[in-house]
Amino acid sequence: MALGVVQTKYGKVSGITYDGRYTGITEYRGIPYAAPPVGRLRFAPPQEPEEWTGIKDCSSYAPAAVQTMLSDRHAREYYFQGTPKMSEDCLYVNVCSGAVQAGEKRPVYMWFHGGGLTNCFSYEIQCNPQELARKGVVVVSVGQRLNLFGYLCLPQLTKEQGKSGNYGFMDQIKALDWVTENIEAFGGDPENITVGGQSGGALKCCLLAASPAARGRIKRVINQSGNKWMIPLKSLEDQEKLGRRYLQYAGIDPDITLEELRAMDTWELYQDAPRVVMPGDVVWDGDLIPCKSVRELFETCLGDVDFMNGADSGEAEVFGESASGLNEVPVRKFISQIRNSRDFYGHFRNLLGLLYEKYDFESLVKVTDDTAWDTARLLAGRGLCGSEGMNVSRNLMLNRYFGMYMHKKHPGNSYYSYWWTHLLPCLSSDKNTSADPERTLAWHSTELWFTFGSLREGIPPHRPWRNIDYEIADAISSYWANFIKCGNPNGEGLPVWPKSNDNYGYMELGDDFLGKNGVDEPLEKLILEFITREYQLMDGDLYE
């Protein structure tokens, strides 16, 4: 038995009912949560969707937001079946539920895709929701405006609205409103909502959880590939300048009237611009986002919210820029590659400054010419890398520190951290190439296949999934389902995952699951002292 036709606030919807392993699971695709943001609603806050009569067929996904699709590894991994249709008309949610009737009060997981705030879409193949739904979770994936259409700031728009930009963030709030009002009809509990995201989706979750507009409605957050809590936010003035620069890049008069701007064809207005020109950042507006950084938002606006934060072993930038002025000696990038042990020690002497001698780094970390580069990457993943601008917290120690730091601010909340080290399988033809996992390590977003339990034979064609991969996916998705249900990933048959707010605890998720506590070894102490200096996190005796 499955859920069948569902009555929402705006009308009835039907979906797709699965069989086999997922018998009883129903997925509803492309449900409108707001009016199409086109015409007069382009560059405007989202509005209520129109009601409809009869039963809306929700068996097909809605268009993705307008964007330039990502290339290289991500295209091969996630878009090998082609790119989706795109449109400004993109404000839709997808709901997957194993409930058989309304009011079952199942926990809700709102998923926000990655791709910064400029790319990707809500129904990417690695984020198949069926497994989490089978484990008792109602999964809601959210489409929203991106890039230019979601975050353009212009003086003309500010004059009209009192502020501009953040339209994509307003979409998130509108989607949360829709879930709060409608999810009970799909068997979900509107009072038990977890938001989760990867990379740019993690930033979306952090902002949403701390925004006054969502306060009290989000119970927990899952941040994959960084919890983003150290990110500074942009000012309206700076983003208005960027908006004008984008229009100039696109060959459009930056003083264009709003009437003309809203009348332009989508693909005349949207150009494939470099990221330094393309709008794609939230602004602190004094209202929905009242603070100048995510950290300040967490410290002043965050309520009772549990967190799970993680990073992948191969995603930190070894040569990431350090924050200006945070070190005893300014970090200069004398070395741009590590070819041998001499380069290795030169790089870390430059990065660590006085900590290099304090911890006798050359005795602490031994490398050969053959192991120098891989060791540098693993150390970066553990925390020995520059603060990386907008990519902050793609390292283990900063997430571990977050648990201890936030525990002092919000002692009633729970904090869990993970470090994903499991390597994907590959074809023999990919061995010793740039696609070899032994070279890439666990690259940015690799755990998505496992957290959603999305592994299927032949998807993607170049991943010959092994028994161990399926076993890990089952365990990882169970951790995620447990956390979504109650704020604790632990459960029967799973290795114990310690809290970060209990002595910097974390879980290494590799071929084996290893729960660890404490900062007792000299290398751990060095990494902890480095990140507190690098991110200006000195806080009394917290890390002593």
* Average pLDDT of the residues in 106-112: 98
Higher pLDDT, 264 or 439: 264
Q: Per-residue pLDDT for 330 more than 50?
A: no
pTM of the model: 0.95
Full strand arrangement of the beta sheet holding 306-312: 16-17, 26-32, 92-97, 138-142, 106-112, 188-198, 220-224, 306-312, 415-420, 506-509, 513-516
Q: Per-residue pLDDT for 334 more than 60?
A: no
pLDDT band for position 535 (cuts 50, 70, 90)? confident
The CATH number that domain 6-303 falls under is 3.40.50.1820
- From CA 76, how far away is CA 90, in angstroms rounded? 24
What is the three-class DSSP state of 420?
Answer: strand
Q: Per-residue pLDDT for 202 more than 50?
A: yes
**How confident is the model at residue 242, as a pLDDT?**
98
- What does the block give as tokens for 51? 């009601």
pLDDT band for position 155 (cuts 50, 70, 90)? very high
Quick: pLDDT tens for 500-519: 987 999 999 999 999 999 99
**How confident is the model at residue 323, as a pLDDT?**
56
- What does the block give as tokens for 176? 């949360």
**How confident is the model at residue 161, as a pLDDT?**
97
Instruction: Spell out the domain ranges in the chain.
Output: 6-303, 341-534
- Which string of DSSP letters, residue by residue, matches 475-500? HHHHHHHHHHHHS----TTS-----T
Q: Per-residue pLDDT for 327 more than 50?
A: no
- What does the block give as tokens for 136? 């008792």
Full strand arrangement of the beta sheet holding 55-57: 6-7, 12-14, 55-57
**How confident is the model at residue 325, as a pLDDT?**
40
Q: Per-residue pLDDT for 158 more than 60?
A: yes
* Average pLDDT of the residues in 104-115: 97
C-beta of residue 396 within 8 angstroms of C-beta of residue 289: no
pLDDT > 70: percent of the chain: 94
What is the three-class DSSP state of 338?
Answer: coil
**How confident is the model at residue 539, as a pLDDT?**
52
- From CA 79, how far away is CA 122, in angstroms rounded? 13
Higher pLDDT, 271 or 317: 271
Q: Per-residue pLDDT for 468 more than 90?
A: yes
Higher pLDDT, 406 or 236: 236
